[in-house]
Amino acid sequence: MGPQKSGQSRRKFLTAAFTVGGGVLATTLLKPFNGVVFAANEPADPNEIWYGIGIDIKKCIGCGRCANACKLENHVPKEPFFFRTWVEQYTIKNDGSINVESPNGGIDGFTHSAAEEDIFKNFFVPKMCNHCYKSPCVQVCPVGATYESPEGVVLVDDKYCIGCRYCIQACPYGCRYIHPEKKVVDKCTLCYHRITKGLSPACIEVCPTGARMYGNLRDKEGPLVKFLKDHNCQVLKPHLNTGSKLFYNDLSAEVR
């Protein structure tokens, strides 16, 4: 009776698991693109543009132009610890250890902190606000200063922000800081003041290799959707279920 009972329990478990997760499994297997954006829980209104971002890690050369352009365009403080976007260098050593470095956000370039013969691989990862659909920062803001635009861009109204730092603590991607002069939260806005006028975000406009892009996730023929279809894209920390709309191609397991 023991083995038979165990087998029945196993079958019941698998049946229940498929019932709960089967929709996700089927979506992933049959419609790969829908499987990628499934976690983002697309809003119901199909008439609005719904912005997402794509980053091709294979193309990033660590030049730091994106971080510099962002500071200039958005009047981010020049000090080397305030950024709306930055670039990290990942150095994987032969012994399995990992060095993650971002001196001045990558604006001044990078050098190797390990000897060449000790390096297994090296690559660059641009970071920025993930503009999550289920944003933890929006959920914890006690005054509604952090909100999501109809286009899916997470913004901060500095007229309402009280500088409580709840959103900074809630963001799992480290994408927010307190502006040293305004004393309110600041973060990437995807250059909302530009994209609403038909211009590209500053970081995307200056990228010399086309490693960055943004676009409408509802436009199935648009460049961003085609990028997601043609590449193996993932989001950072998917287990947190934030509905991130920042998709990376060639995202290595070492990236956090």
For 75-123, what is each residue's pLDDT tens digit?
A: 999 999 999 999 999 999 999 999 999 999 999 999 988 898 999 999 9
Q: Which long-range contacts (CB under 8 A, 24 or more apart) does 29-34 make?
A: 32/229, 33/225, 33/228, 33/229
Same domain, yes or no: 49 and 115: yes
Q: Do residue 66 and residue 12 come from a single domain?
A: no
Average pLDDT, rounded, for the chain = 86
- pLDDT for residue 244: 96
Number of domains in the chain: 2
**pLDDT above 50 (res 18):** no
98 and 190 together in one domain: yes
- 214 in any annotated domain: yes
Give residue 32's pLDDT.
Answer: 44
Are 127 and 11 contained in the same domain? no
Read off the CATH number of the domain in which 102 is found. 3.30.70.20
Q: Is residue 127 part of a domain?
A: yes
C-alpha–C-alpha distance, residues 110 and 170, integer Å: 30
Average pLDDT for 8-18: 40
- Residue 44's pLDDT is 54
pLDDT digit string (tens) for 172-195?
A: 999 999 999 999 999 999 999 999
The answer on 130 and 76 residing in a single domain is: yes
Instruction: Indicate whether 2 pLDDT > 70.
Output: no
Same domain (yes/no): 12, 126: no
Domain containing 12 equals 2-30
Does 143 map to a domain? no
pLDDT band with cut points at 50, 70 and 90 for residue 57: very high
Measured in degrees and rounded to the nearest 5, phi and psi for residue 98 equal -130, 130
For every residue of 27-42, which 3-state class applies, written as one string? HHHHCHHHHHHHCCCC
Q: What integer pLDDT is reported at residue 48 of this predicted model?
A: 83
The answer to whether residue 176 is domain-embedded is no
pLDDT band, very low/low/confident/very high, at 46 (cuts 50, 70, 90): confident
148 within a domain of the structure (yes/no): no
Do the bridges between strand 51-56 and strand 212-216 make them parallel or antiparallel, or are there none, so unpaired?
Answer: antiparallel
Same domain, 230 and 192: yes
- Asked if residue 69 belongs to a domain, the reply is yes
Query: Do residues 122 and 213 both lie within one domain?
Result: yes
State whether 9 and 54 are in the same domain.
Answer: no
Higher pLDDT, 218 or 113: 218
Q: Are residues 26 and 75 in the same domain?
A: no
81 in any annotated domain = yes
Q: Which residue carries 């994106």 as its tokens?
A: 66
Does residue 236 lie in a domain region?
yes
Same domain, 20 and 48: no
Question: Same structural domain for residues 80 and 198?
Answer: yes
Contact 58, 251 (CB under 8 A): no
